[in-house]
Structure 1
Amino acid sequence: MSDLKKMYHTLQQDPFPADLKITLGDQELTFRKRTWEIDGETKGLRYGENPDQPAALYEPVEGQLEVGGVKFIGAGQGLVSALTEEHMLQAGKHPGKTNLTDVDNALNILQYLSAKPAALILKHNNPCGAAWTEEGVAEAFKRAFEADRIAAFGGAVVVNRKLDLACAEQISKVYVEVVAAPEFDAEALALLKQKKNLRILRIPGITQLADLAQQPFLDIKSLSDGGMVLQFSFRNAILKAEDFIPAKAEKDGNEFLARTPSKQEADDLLFAWAVEAGVTSNSVIFARDGVTTAIGTGEQDRVGCVLLATTKAYIKYADLLASKELGKSLFELKLAAIKDADMKAKLEDIEKRTAEARGGLPGSVVVSDGFFPFRDGVDLCIDQGVTAIAQPGGSIRDHEVITAVNEAAPQVAMVFTGQRSFKH
């Protein structure tokens, strides 16, 4: 077993060249491999997605691509790829590909959440909890963590304001692999450094993320045959509540129009749609009061995605009750309940309250990265007490979907985004 564990602690020998050039027509982009001097050694990435995959990180250093009259993000605008030894406040076990891509996807989301202090926790390149609040990053982290404390284990934490001592105290109570922020208070940094394996990254560009929100990067999808698909990266068209489109449709000469969201519903929909930019498709996100209450990712059908999100919400809600009241995870409580009658009674009580609370979902809003092809997914959301929904629109059954929210009691609001937000 000790030999198997070694692979997670072994730095792969990096065979990649120091420079990379990409020529697109008459335009040339130059990249430089990012390495760091750590503990007297020159180190690149720890490894790729898995320990037996050598990998390299490249930073754009020359050239700026322009396609169709649109200028892409280029040299001098680096974030994760521009990290130097100065920014790597603590290397910990030394970052690998997944550590940095989790941070990068957090920045991809945070570019749309600059209006308030926000905190994200990512695992496997998906947010497991996200929150924004005027109360500061410590409260944002607390809410994001409690949204899904199970998945947050071993995650990457990224905040968009200076990380203060109160936030560091919250983070230090749990196990995470990476913490990134635009700046750290001295006391906060000292506390976090007590965890020697923790990667601590200072990324000053986080404070300028909003400036990049409408500037695409060159998104390259590599195929298994060595080919590539090039595309403009996703650009969020919904940057303020007024950007949502009224949900209306026509069928057989009849017009169908949904209720307009309230101010709080619109704010939550705006927040959730921003988080949606970093979630693997098919996906839906439930959110309430600036916190994700459920995230369903990577399903092949939309109604299945809603089922996944709601099922997860019930599990996470029960787990949070077990943790706060008994100091146990839900699964530890279930194990104890097998032999202990008192624990069995406590488990049954928690499960009963979870069902009554519908997993904490009532009052949430929902965003969907693609339109609802049938009303079944919408009906499931309504059953969980959702009050407003945002979705791209454009289905031939939009009139049925709008009918579903209009038939709900109380009536559920709906708006269209006019754009799809798939991420594969």
Structure 2
Amino acid sequence: MTADLVRVTRALISVSDKTGLVPFGQALAARGVEILSTGGSAQQLRDAGVPVTEVGDHTGFPEMMDGRVKTLHPRVHGGILARRDLESHQEAMTTHGITPIDLVVVNLYPFEATVARGAAFEDCVENIDIGGPAMIRSAAKNHGFVAVLTDPAEYEAVLTELESNDGATTLALRRRLAASAYARTAAYDSAISQWFAGQNDETFPARVTVAGSLRQTLRYGENPHQAAAFYVSGIDGRPGIATATQLQGKELSYNNLNDTDAAFELVAEFERPAVAIIKHANPCGVAEGESLSEAYARALECDPVSAFGGIIAVNRVLDAATAEQVAKLFAEVVIAPDADDEAKAFLAAKKNLRVLLTGAMPDPAAPGMTVRTVAGGFLFQTRDSGRISLPDLKVVTKRAPTAEELNDLLFAFRVAKHVKSNAIVYAKNGATVGVGAGQMSRVDSSRIAAWKSADAAKAAGRAEAGTIGSVVASDAFFPFADGLLAAADAGATAIIQPGGSMRDAEVIAAADERGLAMVMTGMRHFRH
């Protein structure tokens, strides 16, 4: 029968991450716990004056094969797996000279870190731990009698229990540690399997696992009645919200994280200084400029009403001039690769504003994977890293776009890639002037974007809407000419769209009739 309290008399310590090892070992030794250890762990403890028994001395079998074989031995696993409440197990221990191990402290070879630094295939394979996961799983299975630690962050909880319970651990703690241990080995195996699949050029292997580490328990999800948490995978090291340091501001919410990710991925599309202002995962203003401050001012002009309470993303080190402008707007989050000291000082006055620095920009063309849940399963797809440049464009109308129109068409199409379908984006001089997102019909997106542009112009005291003389981008083909005609009515002079509709000829004829220039990309960017 499982006991609630189990006194720790013998511990096995074999760790790759030696953070906190010495004080933990010293605390165990002070309680009279016998410590078995291996390799570098044993040496570090011994150097600190902690009495240690080498595992090889304990098993009577030397460490061999460059350390590949050292703990895979019955005197180790028997001591971990033996049930203390079964007479047959006790008899087997006596017969074979096996002594019980009450505490297993193991963290694994740094496989994930080895892959992340771009090590060679052979180095990655050598950093696949075998004995470690075996001991962890053995101890977790026998948690009725054995406590297992896989992270230095767990040391304090165990020492506190030993102090409170005269050197014993409780069943409740052992169960929590066992759950943590299985999660760790599962994540470890997940990282290995994903890496191997990549090495074998398997985009979608027969089995796939999703693993992450808890970064933050959130106050709630999209709505207050939903629970939520933020997990980080640490697989591809892509700069973004998972790598960001929060300098200031309130705790990030579920919606903050989702919208901030959308904003940062969008602004990464541009080489020139650029700013994206996002609301509900859709852009309400995006612009390039000679400087960030210029880009910010032009992005804000697109839809200043929707920008209130939005997310601001920049693709350069945030400077003082831009920060001073940003501080005048109520925003939820500012995200940048970095910020200078003056910019930080300006934003510090806005104590509730969340400021995130990522250290770098993500590569919009880099491969990767996205995942979404559906009832009973997952949808995996490769990241939309498709990009269109001038040579990819096919002019399909009698009038070809001007050089200025071509630049704006490419700009608008990059923005449209990050707008929820059906997406329509009007742009002029490297800035959005109207955005229509998430409508059931493309013509409605065209009209809504034009309507919002007219409202913004009126509020700013401008004589005409920004869509006059603009270009327009559509994330997918026009199924009918009505969406294109709505854009022409709004003042657009050139169109970029993927093409591929059964009615392409009808749409092209309508563009020619209005004197519009139109190019097709052959690539669509649905975003649902």
Give TM-score, length-normalised by structure 1.
0.74
Cα distance 1:245–1:33, how it changes in 2: closer, same or farther (>3 A)? farther
Q: How far apart, in 1, do the equivalents of 2:367 and 2:292 lie?
A: 28
Q: How far apart, in 2, do the equivalents of 1:82 and 1:360 lie?
A: 37
- 1:87-106 paired onto structure 2 within 5 Å: 87-90=245-248, 92-106=249-263
Report what 1:232 is aligned to: 382
- 1:241-252 paired onto structure 2 within 5 Å: 241-247=390-396
Aligned 8 A contact 1:282 1:369 in 2: yes
Cα distance 1:33–1:361, how it changes in 2: closer, same or farther (>3 A)? same
Q: How far apart, in 2, do the equivalents of 1:311 and 1:77 lie?
A: 37
Report what 1:132 is aligned to: 288
- 1:10-409 paired onto structure 2 within 5 Å: 21=187, 25=206, 30-35=211-216, 44-61=217-234, 74-83=235-244, 87-90=245-248, 92-113=249-270, 115-133=271-289, 135-206=290-361, 209=362, 212-223=363-374, 225-238=375-388, 240-247=389-396, 257-321=397-461, 357=464, 359-408=465-514
Q: How many residues align?
A: 333
Q: How far apart, in 2, do the equivalents of 1:423 and 1:205 lie?
A: 25
Cα distance 1:112–1:281, how it changes in 2: closer, same or farther (>3 A)? same
Q: How far is 1:221 from its partner?
A: 2.3
The structure richer in strand per residue is 1
Q: How far is 1:77 from its partner?
A: 2.9
Greater C-alpha radius of gyration: 2
Cα distance 1:26–1:222, how it changes in 2: closer, same or farther (>3 A)? closer
Cα distance 1:371–1:96, how it changes in 2: closer, same or farther (>3 A)? same
| 1:151 alignment partner, SS class | helix
Q: How far is 1:136 from its partner?
A: 0.5
Q: How far is 1:107 from its partner?
A: 2.3
Aligned 8 A contact 2:442 2:483 in 1: yes
Cα distance 1:111–1:236, how it changes in 2: closer, same or farther (>3 A)? farther
Q: How far is 1:360 from its partner?
A: 2.3
**RCO higher in structure (CA 8 A, sep ≥6):** 1
Q: How far apart, in 2, do the equivalents of 1:385 and 1:26 lie?
A: 52
| 2:307 alignment partner, SS class | coil
Query: Partner amino acid for 2:296?
Result: F
Q: How far apart, in 2, do the equivalents of 1:101 and 1:309 lie?
A: 23
Identity, % of aligned positions: 41
| 1:81 alignment partner, SS class | coil
Give TM-score, length-normalised by structure 2.
0.60
Q: How far apart, in 1, do the equivalents of 2:241 and 2:337 lie?
A: 12
Aligned 8 A contact 2:434 2:466 in 1: no
Give the stretch that moved more between structures: 103-112 or 413-422: 103-112
The structure richer in helix per residue is 2
The unaligned stretches of length 5 or more in structure 2 are: 1-178, 194-204
Task: Summarize deviations over 1:142-201 as a string: whole Å, max 9, x none.
Answer: 111111100000001010011111101111111001111111111111110101101001
Q: How far apart, in 2, do the equivalents of 1:76 and 1:236 lie?
A: 20
Query: Partner amino acid for 1:80?
Result: I
Report what 1:64 is aligned to: none
